[in-house]
Amino acid sequence: MNSGHQHRVFGKRAQEHILILASGDKVRHMTVKPWMGALAFCFVGVFSIGYLLATSYLVLRDDLIGATMARQARMQHDYEDRIAALRAQVDRITSRQLLDQQVVEDKVDKLMEQQMALTSRHGKLDNLLDRAESSGLTDKDVAPSAPSSPVQSYAPAIKDKRASLDRGGIEAIEKQLASGAPADATPDNTTLAYVPATETVGDRADRVFSKVTLSLKDVEQDQRNRVEQLTSDAGTAANAIEGVLTRFKIPVPEEAAAKRDDDDSAVGGPYIEPESNDDFNNSLAALDGALTRLEAVRSTAESLPFRNPAIGKEVTSPFGNRRDPFLGRLALHSGVDFRFSPGEKIRPTAPGKVISAGWTGGYGNMVEIDHGNGISTRYGHMSEVLVKVGETVDRSDVIGLAGSTGRSTGTHLHYEVRQNGRAVDPVYFMNAGLKLATYIK
C-alpha cells in the first residue's frame, strides 16, 4: 500500500546504479552517483582536448619552427644589408676624405709654386728696379710691392688647413673653412652621421683657394703692368736722349753695356737654355734691354757738358762775332763770358780728364777737360788753377778760382765748348741740357 501510495505521489523512483567490486572473499558495493558520471565525463573531455592539442602541436611544430627560423634569417639578412650599407658609406666618406685631402694638398702645392714664382720674379725685379731708380724712372717708395703681402695673409690659413688634414681629416678642414678657426675634431671622436649640406668642403676649399689665386694673379698683373710701364718709360727716355745726341752728331753707343760688363768681371760657363720662355720673362728681358739702352745713352749724355757752368750768373758776352775789347775791331768770341766774383770756385760741367792746366796765352790761367766723343771744355782767366794735367775730375770737383788773367778786362769766367777741335756755341749744349734735365743727373 505504501509503495502504491508512493508511486502515486512521487512517481516512479529512479533506480540506483550499484558498482560491485569483488576481490577474493571480499565484496564491495559502490553506488554510482550522477555527479560522478559527470565528473568522469569532464575528465575524459579535458583529456581528449589535451590530447588533441598535443597532437596538433606535434603536427604543426615543424611549421612553426620553420617560420621562426625564416623570420630570424630575414632579420639577419636585413642586419647584414644594413651593416654592408654602413660600411659602404664609411668607405665613401673615407674615400672622399682622402680625395679632398689630396685635392686640397695639390691646390696648396700649386699656390706655393705660384708664391715661389712670384717671389723669384720679385727677386729678378729688384735689380731692374734699382737700375730704373738710378736712371730716374722710379722711386723705391712707389716700386711694386713684393708678392708676400697677399701670400702672408693666406699662407697661415693654408698651413692650418694642411695641419688640419693631418690631424682630423676632411671634417677638420670643413670646420676650419666654415668658421675660420682651427679644427679640433679627430678621427677618434668623429661620429658617422648623414648630415645634408648645401655646400661641400670641396666648394669651400675652392672658394678659399680662388681668393688666394686671384690675389696672386693681381700681384702678378701688377708686376706685369709695372714692368711694361718701366719698359715704355725707359724707351721714351732713351729716345729723347738719343735725339739730343744725334742732333749734336754724337754716336749712340749700342754695345756700351756689353763692353762694360766684359770689362768689370770675368764670366763664363756652358750655355744652358733659359728656365722658361713665358711672357713675364720676355717682358723682363725687354725691360732689361730697354734699361741697358737707356743706361748706355744716359751715361754718354752725363759725360758731356750739357750743364750750365755758372747757374744764376750774368752773361757778360755771348758766343759769336763781337768787337774786340782791346783792338776795337770785329773778332770771333769762341765762348760765353759769365760774371764772377774774385776767388769764386769754378767746377766743370761734366766729368772728364784734364788735358791742359796752366797759363795759355790770351786765356790766362786755363783748364781744358776732355769729355770723350770729341768734346772738350775750356775754363779761362782763372786766378788760380787747382788741378793738374792727367787728373780725372768730376762735376763736384773744384778746378780753379775765378780771376782776370790773360786778355781780360775784369773778373769773369770764359767758358768754351769745342767739338772735334772747333769752338761751338755753349748755349746749344745748355739748352739741350734743360731738355735732358729729367733724364740725367
pLDDT of residue 351: 95
Q: What's the CATH code, domain 315-435?
A: 2.70.70.10
pLDDT of residue 199: 57
pLDDT of residue 195: 46
Per-domain boundaries in the chain: 315-435
Whose CA is closest to 385, among 371, 370, 403, 372? 403
pLDDT of residue 128: 77
pLDDT of residue 397: 94
How large is the angle between the packed helices 201-247 and 34-134, nearest 10 degrees?
A: 10
List of the chain residues with pLDDT < 50: 1-7, 140-170, 172-174, 177, 180-197, 255-264
Any residues with CB less than 8 A from the CB of 331 and at least 6 apart, and which?
321, 322, 323, 324
**Whole-angstrom Cα distance, residue 225 to residue 221?**
6
pLDDT of residue 430: 92
**Whole-angstrom Cα distance, residue 326 to residue 333?**
13
**CA distances for 218 relative to 42, 123, 144, 154, angstroms:** 105, 18, 12, 14
pLDDT of residue 99: 73
Q: Tens of pLDDT along 99-136?
A: 777 777 777 777 777 677 767 766 667 777 777 777 77
| Burial of residue 339 (number of CB atoms within 10 Å: 0-12, 13-18, 19+) | middle
Query: What secondary structure does DSSP assign to 159-213, as a single string?
Result: HHHHHHHHHHHHHHHHHHHHHSSPP---TTT--------SS-HHHHHHHHHHHHH
**Whole-angstrom Cα distance, residue 417 to residue 248?**
12
